[in-house]
Structure 1
Amino acid sequence: MKQIIKNIYHVGDNECSVYMVDTQSDQGLVLIDAGMNLNMIKQIASHGMRFEDIQHCILTHCHIDHIGACAELSRALPGIKFYAHELDAVPIEEPGHDGRTAASWYGVKYKSIKLYEKFKTDTILSLGNYKFQCIHTPGHTPGSISILVESEGKKVLFGQDLHGPFNDSFLSNLHDYQSSMEKLLDLDTDILCEGHFGIFQPANKVRHYIEKHKSLNQP
């Protein structure tokens, strides 16, 4: 685990990158996605943080590499609250959607969970000292979201899987994707925390990354 900026951490990689925000309040720790293995998340204890303080998990979309550990996480922490966009809610909450979750790509079965909140529109979650701006950015999946948080005057964007891939079984839509990337470019983000290709900073590198993939993935 490493600190990206004050109170924001890269927990590690387990098929996808998992990120965490310490709200510095009674709202505890907030995960951005969960990956596929709970053991990776539990290792935060070796960095002076309590696994038991994880109270929230915001899911950027419904793919198994981002949500596979959720069922195990909910058993270990019965009070944890999960959030996602309503357009990806069905494959998250119901079994039998292996195409939508991409579980079939990994040869595993997804164990469903219940969401605490399903976003209908762009939503701001106020948790402790932080506001989590949950922005609907469809394209990769219909309910993909990106999350913007500010720390030390810098905009940190959790933009998981901005690179794709795009597939009919995911209900991907490249026209939606193009609009979503324009929305993210307008944010002028200082730091991008991506799902599989690492952390990009400063702002010009963030813009280059988004523009490159926008150009590569034309309808």
Structure 2
Amino acid sequence: MKQIIKNIYHVGDNECSVYMVDTQSDEGLVLIDAGMNLDMIRQINSHGILFENIQHCILTHCHIDHIGICAQLSRELSDIKFYAHELDAVPIEKPNHDGRTAASWYGVRYEPVKLYQKFTSDTILRIGNYDFQIIHTPGHTPGSISVLVESKGKKVLFGQDLHGPFNEIFLSDLQDYQLSMQKLLGLEANILCEGHFGIFQPNHRVKQYIEKHKRLNQPLL
């Protein structure tokens, strides 16, 4: 586990990057996505941080590499709360949506989990000492979200899978994606925590990354 900035960590990579915010409160730890490797999450015990203190998990979208161990987490951490956008809720909460979750791509079966809250629009989720700005950024999937958190005066953007891929079975929409990327550019984030390609900083590198993929993924005329 590596600290990115005060109270914000990169937990590790296993099919996707998992990030974590220590709320410095009784609300404990917040995961941004869960990944597919429970052992990786169990090994966060450092910096005075304990696995048992994970109380929240914000899911950026419904793909198996981001949600694969949610059911396992809920068995080990009985009070953990899961959050996602309502447009990706069905494949997260219901069985037999292997196309939407991309579970079939990995040759695994997804075990559904109940969501504590389903976002219907952009909102602020207050957890402990932090405001988590939930931003609906459809394109990769209909219910894709990005999350903005501030630490030490820096805007940290959790923008998982901003690169895509885009597929009909995911219900991807490149026109929606273009609007979403424009919305993220307007945030002028200082740090981007991406789902598969690492951490980008400062602001000009964040901007370059988003603009690059916005340019590469134009809708067909």
The CA distance in 1 between the partners of 2:9 and 2:46, in whole Å, is 14
Match of 2:96 in 1: 96
Match of 2:54 in 1: 54
SS of the residue corresponding to residue 49 of structure 2 reads: coil
Match of 2:187 in 1: 187
The CA distance in 1 between the partners of 2:125 and 2:61, in whole Å, is 17
Task: State whether structure 2 residue 104 is matched by structure 1 residue 128.
Answer: no
The CA distance in 2 between the partners of 1:129 and 1:5, in whole Å, is 15
**Residue by residue, what CA displacement relative to the aligned partner does 1:20-55 show, whole Å, maximum 9, x if unpaired?**
000000000000000001100000014431111000
The CA distance in 2 between the partners of 1:108 and 1:123, in whole Å, is 33
The CA distance in 1 between the partners of 2:143 and 2:134, in whole Å, is 11
Match of 2:155 in 1: 155
Match of 2:167 in 1: 167
User: Percent of counterpart pairs with the same letter?
Assistant: 80
Match of 2:29 in 1: 29
Match of 1:13 in 2: 13
Number of aligned residue pairs = 219
**Residue by residue, what CA displacement relative to the aligned partner does 1:181-217 show, whole Å, maximum 9, x if unpaired?**
0000000000000000000000000000000000000
Task: State whether structure 2 residue 102 is matched by structure 1 residue 105.
Answer: no
Match of 2:203 in 1: 203
The CA distance in 2 between the partners of 1:107 and 1:166, in whole Å, is 19
**Residue by residue, what CA displacement relative to the aligned partner does 1:151-210 show, whole Å, maximum 9, x if unpaired?**
000000000000000000000000000000000000000000000000000000000000
Match of 1:146 in 2: 146
The two structures have a TM-score, normalised by structure 1, of 0.99
Structure 1: gaps of 5 or more residues? none
**Residue by residue, what CA displacement relative to the aligned partner does 1:118-167 show, whole Å, maximum 9, x if unpaired?**
00001111011100001000000000000000000000000000000000
The two structures have a TM-score, normalised by structure 2, of 0.98
Q: What's the C-alpha RMSD, in Å, of the aligned pairs?
A: 0.6
The CA distance in 1 between the partners of 2:186 and 2:50, in whole Å, is 36
Letter in 2 for 1:149: V
SS of the residue corresponding to residue 165 of structure 1 reads: coil
